[in-house]
Amino acid sequence: MNEQFDLSTLRHTAAHILAQAVKRLFPDVKLAIGPSIADGFYYDFETKTPFTPQDLTAIEKEMKKIVKENLQIEQFTLPRDEALAWADAQGEAYKRELIEGLPDGETATFYKQGEFTDLCAGPHMPRTKDARVFKLTSVAGAYWRGDEKNAMLSRIYGTAFFTKDELNAHLEAIEEAKKRDHRKLGKEMKLFAFMDEGPGFPFYYPKGVTLKNNLIEYWRRVHKRYGYREISTPIMLVGDLWHRSGHYEKYRENMYATSLDDTDYFIKPMNCPGGMLLYNTELHSYKELPLRMAELGIIHRAEKSGALHGLARARLFTQDDAHIYMTHEQAKDEIIGVITLFEEVYAAFGLDDFKFELSTRPENSIGTEEDWEKSTDALRNALEELGREYVVNEGDGAFYGPKIDFHIKDCMGRSFQCGTIQFDMQMPERFDLTYVGSDGQKHRPVMIHRACFGSIERFLAILIEHCAGWFPFWLTPVQIAIIPIAERHQEAAQNVLAKLTAAGLRAEVDMRNEKMGFKIREAQLSKIPVMIILGDSEIEQNKISVRSRENGDEGQKDLAECIEKWKLKS
């Protein structure tokens, strides 16, 4: 590694080498942008026909030539007018648009390598040979500036590293991620599906429903133990409510709307307004506070089609929401309680590598500076009392308050923003929430919005990929597959099934007229952790043969003893 330059600079340079190679092979393409990103880089091009995998092979070959030429990379600047003239002379309309967006009086920065010049703020490596370890990975479509009203461009993705070993490790991780892709495994395991008739709206198979319900039942047990009371609010509410809450102004483009009896309605994109309406139906005393109200609310959001990604980014999901109504004096202890709950839940799924991020006031916020300072201090003090390290993400809070986000790492080292704790002094004001204090007067509570999983669907996506479909025994939809070797063994298999079911275990019998080896492979593909094999020997000895993912072939066992062991794991 060159100690003078970071990975982002290296990848930015590789993006320019990519653009130079494309211009050599396809002179008529128009250049858009080519930044470095978390796992590599990309460059967007306007082209009459999208790039193909064969094109990527040719482009990579040309990139290697450019690296071998060891071109010097030079920076220079031009006044705005000269920069615009350059863009016009090159026929680069996207570059012209970028130059036009520069502040008045600011010069445009360019980088030149050989015959290739590009508008770019930099920085870059000194020479093209410095970015010699790279790989192009895929092609996708992308709207200019991310706006679907703009032209669709062709985006080439790649990655670059300082050493071949780092690149090879990264490419192996990509292949492993493909194997674990929750969309692929969800289909193979018959958990869920997506249909053209409902893009972005998941359909669940019976096994998927069992998996989802198991997760929800666990969620309910934990929240009951932590003193939460579950509520349910309507999926659709009148338009005026969303104006009052402020969500209409912030999220209108993602809200589904309809009209009934000349009144506008919106399908809820979040649960909080309904929860506050419910709070206001009763007169609350300070003795009730803190009041912890949880809701598994079905949410709809009109996500753009290009942003959809299986369960991880869907248009319908179940948000595991909760709102805590409290006094300012109770805030720190309540936040500590939420953090403790979240840590317990994540640990139950083997997700114990996470970081905390404290996000502060954004530009488009509501409320006074004093409110924001008090709210932010409450979150910060809770983290510090628990001794949790955290980073500050300036200006990325919700529009109504600061927040703590949990960033979880899976077994492949990928980070996901999952749980969130959002402090709010604005919604209680907007909805005129009150409680009667010890002085007999009405006072304004403060509140926390919090979600542990974020959504049931998104957490399932993370979990499927983290576990590669091999869920903990207690969570897995089918815990035991019973495989009769021949038709004459099916009655005994049904008797075993009845005993397992009576014990609360989830099992199924494979009654298909297939060979035992095929059935075993099918059970493995379905990620069923335990198999029971039944043949003449097992029936004669009143035993079962057990195969498990954990121990392989365990030989013949007593069914009653196995049931007791499996019940402990459930």
Q: Reply yes or no: is the peptide bond before residue 290 cis, omega within 30 of 0.
A: yes
**77: how many CB neighbours lie within 10 A of its CB?**
11
Report d(CA 431, CA 245) in Å as an integer.
8
Sign of the torsion angle spanned by Cα atoms 242, 244, 245, 251: positive
DSSP letters of 486-531? SGGGHHHHHHHHHHHHHTT--EEE--SSS-HHHHHHHHHHTT-SEE
- Residue 1 DSSP symbol: -
Q: How far apart are CA 465 and CA 518, in angstroms?
A: 25
pLDDT in tens, 322-340: 999 999 899 999 999 999 9
Residues 45 and 22: beta-carbon distance below 8 Å: yes
Q: For residues 178 and 480, what is the distance between their CA atoms, to the nearest angstrom?
A: 27
92-132 pLDDT, tens digit each: 999 999 999 988 878 999 999 999 999 998 899 999 999 99
CB atoms within 10 A of CB 106: 13
Residue 71, both tokens = 């071109």
Q: For the stretch 181-208, what's the b/e string if a residue is b when 16 or more beta carbons lie within 10 angstroms of its beta carbon?
A: ebbebbeebebbebeeeeebebebbebb
| DSSP category for residue 474 | T
**Given this model, what pLDDT does residue 3 score?**
52
What is the four-CA torsion angle of 467, 468, 473, 478, rounded to 10 degrees? Answer: 150
Q: Which stretches in the chain have pLDDT values below 50?
A: 1-2
Count the alpha carbons within 13 Å of 109 in the hemisphere toward its beta carbon: 9
Give the pLDDT score at 422: 94
What does the alpha-carbon distance between residue 232 and residue 235 come to, in Å, rounded to a whole number? 9
3-state helix, strand, coil in the chain (%, to 5): 40, 25, 30
Omega prior to 123 cis, within 30 of 0: yes
End-to-end CA distance of the chain: 49
Q: How far apart (Å, rounded) are the C-alpha atoms in residues 152 and 51?
A: 13
Q: Which residues are catalytic?
A: 272, 301, 319, 321, 323, 403, 449
What are the angstrom distances between the C-alpha of 173 and each of 148, 168, 430, 453?
Answer: 31, 9, 48, 25
| Signed CA dihedral, 191, 194, 195, 198: sign only | positive
What pLDDT, on a 0 to 100 scale, did the predictor assign at position 400? 82
Phi, psi angle pair for 63, to nearest 5°: -60, -40
**What is the model's pLDDT at position 438?**
95
Q: Sheet containing 116-119: give its strands across.
A: 73-78, 108-113, 116-119
Residue 252: predicted pLDDT = 87
pLDDT value, residue 304: 86
How far, in Å, CA of 387 to CA of 192, rounded?
A: 40
Amino acid letter, residue 360: T
Exposed e or buried b per residue across 21-48, where buried means at least 16 C-beta atoms within 10 angstroms of its C-beta = bbbbebeebbbbbbebeeebbbbbbbee
Question: CA 59, CA 20: separation in Å to the nearest integer?
Answer: 9
DSSP letter for each residue of 159-212 = EE-SSHHHHHHHHHHHHHHHHH-HHHHHHHTTSEE--TTSTT--EE-HHHHHHH
| Pairing mode of beta strands 316-326, 442-443 | unpaired
* Alpha carbons within 13 A on the beta-carbon side of 352: 5
Determine which helix (DSSP H) or strand (DSSP E) holds 482, and give its type and residue range. Answer: strand 480-484
User: What is the distance between the alpha carbons of residues 61 and 55, in angstroms, rounded to a whole number?
Assistant: 10
Residue closest to 310 by CA, chosen among 532, 464, 492, 503? 464
- Neighbouring C-alpha atoms within 13 Å toward the C-beta of 536: 0
The H or E element containing residue 562 is helix 559-569
